[in-house]
Amino acid sequence: MQSIDTFDHKILAALQRDATRSMDDLSEEIGLSRNACWRRIRALETAGIIKGRVALVDAAKVGLGLTVFMQIRTNAHAPDWLRKFSTATKALPEIQGVYRMSGDLDYLIRARVADMAGYDRLYQMLIARVELSDVSASFVMEEIKETTALPL
């Protein structure tokens, strides 16, 4: 892992708040020259610390108002099954995150859909692509906090 210093932390925190700021504004906030700030950002990108810059879209305003967490249990743990599961979940754009879990649960999926009918379509597409032992779902009733910013 690349060692990051106080300036890098400041740059990362500022970019997590707003990656659209001009280099002049960013360098002024950080306390570095424009060129030094730009070089550090490029180095952070090259090292893979900055993985990308994106626009955060309000899901409800684009018709994807329902967040669902799908709890997956499987009896299959062979590498071929895992490849098939990985391929299936990556191919479904509604699925935003897939996590292999410790404990009783094998996998946790986080997805965004329009409504219950959208969830049912997602469920049907997933089980058609890969064999699962048990799928249960929990639906978000209220989003209290959601952030993409890491606590630097």
The structure's pTM equals 0.89
Q: Which CATH number is associated with domain 60-139?
A: 3.30.70.920
Q: State pLDDT tens for residues 45-80.
A: 999 999 999 999 999 999 999 999 999 999 998 999
Query: Rounded to an integer, what distance in angstroms lies between the CA atom of residue 85 and that of residue 107?
Result: 10
Q: State pLDDT tens for residues 85-102.
A: 999 999 999 999 999 999
The full set of domain ranges for the chain reads: 6-46, 60-139
The predicted structure's pLDDT at residue 3:
86
Looking at domain 6-46, its CATH architecture is Orthogonal Bundle (1.10)
Asked whether residue 1 carries a pLDDT value surpassing 70, the answer given is no
